[in-house]
Structure 1
Amino acid sequence: MRFQLTDEQQALRAAVRDVVGRFLSAGPSWLVAARGGAAKGHSPAPLVDRGLWSALGELGVFSLRLPEAEGGAGLGLPEAVLVFEELGWALVPGPLVATHLAAGVVPGAATGEAVVAAADGSLVEWLDEADVVMPGAEGAVAMRSVDPLTPVHRVPAPARVEPVAVLLTAAEQLGTAGRVCGLAVQHARTREQFGQPIGAFQAVKHLCAQSLVRVEVARAAVYAAAVTGDAVDIAAARLLADEAAVRGARDCLQVHGGMGFTWESEVHLHLKRAWVRARRGGGGTESEELLAADLAGRAS
């Protein structure tokens, strides 16, 4: 079966990229805060960009899957995946998945008026910035996050993770994977060493090519899981997306060399965000165990 995006789905994706792009072109407040904190020798205090949050609410990002009778767009998982891929591509911070899942349950979540935090496995992100905290985050203890733009707390009793949350995290990872692949290729074309672009060297070519392969394989798996909604398909998509994001960001950092570690470059922020997302519930061992159980059941 051949999947192809409809005109409406392409328009939705373009609208999200346009809204996020306008905030990025003005200088994203989260990146400015991170750079400012680093320049002063301390970690910044991450803040949710409320202006962007409201804009995403007006666009329907959080109410996307709500029925039209409840003020939503009445769309499904495939459209949500496209939206969250764009948000991951742009490195938008905040509890996006938690707020999306709270739409229709928490007043103000659907419109972007409320920021909602929820425990996802053993972690809860953006607890202090949230207007509403869902049950399950009681007793959370603050941790030092590897990503300076994603504050995290650890909860004593791991919460159950919905398959939709796992899939939307995979979509965010897919967005990061696509972004860092593009950044690596762009840098390889423009950065010169020994009188020629570094992309002319075989080792750099291989890094870029391998990154692209991982992105396309992960994209096929994530899009397919969005259509089937099957928990096993989602687990497989999550593993592939985590790998594409983390390994892609590491390879992109390698292509950039020392410049990739600086605050002037967003590459290291994508890598750190990918690491944090990979620790959310439904990734790593949990997805591997679900796949193993499914394979064992088929074999028996």
Structure 2
Amino acid sequence: MDFQLTADQRALRQGLRGLLVRRFPREALRAPLDRREGDTCARDPHTLDRELWRALGDAGFFALRLPEEEGGVGLGLPEAVLLFEEAGRALLTGPLVDTHLAAGAVKGAAEGEVVVTAQAGELISHLAQSDVVRDQDRAALEGVARPASSVDPLTPLWIVPGEPVDPSPESILLTAAEQSGSAARTLQMAVQHAHERKQFGQPVGAFQAVKHMCAQMLVRSELARTAVYAAAVTADPVEIAAAKLLADEAAEANARDCLQVCGGMGFTWEHDVHLHLKRAWVRAARGPSTGRLEEELAQNLLADA
């Protein structure tokens, strides 16, 4: 299977990356987090940037897979995976996957005018900030859902009593793509620091222990990316499960290793790596558990034996 991107796919990915650099730079990510006490003008970290949401809609982020005759871009799941990788790299905030999947079914979702969320497992993110809860009555949910403690300061969560809701395979795959993008970004952060930070007159990247750690991060990132790309091509539920397992591991382990490579600086609030780690935890918690996915993969392997 050839995983080389076409020129159009590279242009699509680069276009979104350029949009996020302009509309969602690091300053926009950090601004609501670094509010000082008494600063009433700063945006609350749980408030969604509706102008950015509409800009994503104008760029075709949500309507990417809608047919052209319905006002969409007419592309497929492999192209959607590329965009969600970029969203993961940038730590783009909000129920992106849910709104993307609702395009065409919920009026205004494709254009970015309506924010759609959905239950995954027992959790819903951004319930108070969304306009629609996919497949459920939002008003009824608000009466029974209770706020949950979220380790990610940019992702408010609610717990819904009752039976957990399994997310669709497409939702699992696009979330895995976000995890893969986050893993690639923390690898980049670690390598950059290893080149720039000097000890004993040489970059810390020259030390064998740091080299090995960065090499392990690269292997995790590439394995996750390849698995996500393969699952996007086949749309096979088993391959999607494998992609999620690898992407969750890559996002979490790479963020941890990036913390180690960056040393004392990596453990500060001012460094972004802790945000990647916390977002990776939240993404992994929404949807099928690691144990369940491993069991599904094991059963599939035994059936083919």
Q: CA deviation at 1:108?
A: 0.8
Structure 2: runs of 5+ lacking an equivalent: none
Match of 1:111 in 2: 111
Whole-Å Cα distance in 1 between the matches of residues 128 and 37 of structure 2? 21
2:228 to 222, 233, 241: 222
Match of 1:127 in 2: 127
Q: How does 1:1-300 map to 2 (within 5 A)?
A: 1-25=1-25, 27-28=27-28, 30-36=29-35, 45-136=45-136, 138=141, 139-156=144-161, 157-299=163-305
Q: Relative to structure 1, is the Cα distance of residues 37 and 174 closer, same or farther in structure 2, using a 3 angstrom cutoff?
A: farther
Q: Relative to structure 1, is the Cα distance of residues 69 and 282 closer, same or farther in structure 2, using a 3 angstrom cutoff?
A: farther
AA in 2 matched with 1:144: S
Does the 8 Å CA contact 1:238/1:283 hold for their aligned counterparts?
no
Q: Relative to structure 1, is the Cα distance of residues 37 and 161 closer, same or farther in structure 2, using a 3 angstrom cutoff?
A: farther
Q: Secondary structure at the match of 2:31?
A: helix
CA shift digits 1:194-231 (9 cap, x unpaired): 22111111111111110001111111111000000000
Q: Relative to structure 1, is the Cα distance of residues 255 and 268 closer, same or farther in structure 2, using a 3 angstrom cutoff?
A: same
AA in 1 matched with 2:195: R
Whole-Å Cα distance in 2 between the matches of residues 60 and 38 of structure 1? 38
| Length-normalised TM-score, structure 1 | 0.94
CA shift digits 1:7-39 (9 cap, x unpaired): 1111110110010111234721x4211121689
Does the 8 Å CA contact 2:3/2:226 hold for their aligned counterparts?
no
Whole-Å Cα distance in 2 between the matches of residues 241 and 39 of structure 1? 39
Q: Relative to structure 1, is the Cα distance of residues 39 and 197 closer, same or farther in structure 2, using a 3 angstrom cutoff?
A: farther
Q: How many residue pairs get matched?
A: 295
Pick which of 64-73 and 227-236 moved more.
64-73
Q: Relative to structure 1, is the Cα distance of residues 63 and 37 closer, same or farther in structure 2, using a 3 angstrom cutoff?
A: farther
Structure 1: runs of 5+ lacking an equivalent: none
Q: CA deviation at 1:45?
A: 4.0
Whole-Å Cα distance in 1 between the matches of residues 25 and 86 of structure 2? 15
AA in 1 matched with 2:176: A
Whole-Å Cα distance in 2 between the matches of residues 17 and 66 of structure 1? 21
Q: CA deviation at 1:261?
A: 2.5
Q: CA deviation at 1:271?
A: 0.6
Q: Relative to structure 1, is the Cα distance of residues 215 and 27 closer, same or farther in structure 2, using a 3 angstrom cutoff?
A: same
Q: Secondary structure at the match of 1:56?
A: helix
Q: Relative to structure 1, is the Cα distance of residues 79 and 39 closer, same or farther in structure 2, using a 3 angstrom cutoff?
A: farther
Q: Secondary structure at the match of 2:5?
A: coil
Does the 8 Å CA contact 1:225/1:234 hold for their aligned counterparts?
yes
AA in 2 matched with 1:32: A
CA shift digits 1:124-155 (9 cap, x unpaired): 11111001122347332211100001111112
CA shift digits 1:102-124 (9 cap, x unpaired): 11111111000111111012211
Q: Relative to structure 1, is the Cα distance of residues 249 and 55 closer, same or farther in structure 2, using a 3 angstrom cutoff?
A: same
Whole-Å Cα distance in 2 between the matches of residues 172 and 75 of structure 1? 19
Q: Relative to structure 1, is the Cα distance of residues 120 and 37 closer, same or farther in structure 2, using a 3 angstrom cutoff?
A: farther
Does the 8 Å CA contact 2:117/2:126 hold for their aligned counterparts?
yes
Q: CA deviation at 1:263?
A: 2.9
| Length-normalised TM-score, structure 2 | 0.93
Q: CA deviation at 1:167?
A: 0.2
Does the 8 Å CA contact 1:239/1:283 hold for their aligned counterparts?
no
Whole-Å Cα distance in 2 between the matches of residues 282 and 223 of structure 1? 20
Whole-Å Cα distance in 1 between the matches of residues 225 and 264 of structure 2? 29
Q: Secondary structure at the match of 1:142?
A: strand
CA shift digits 1:85-111 (9 cap, x unpaired): 000000100000010011111111100
Q: Secondary structure at the match of 2:88?
A: helix
CA shift digits 1:172-203 (9 cap, x unpaired): 00000000000000001101122211111111
Q: Secondary structure at the match of 1:223?
A: helix
Pick which of 1-10 and 157-166 moved more.
1-10
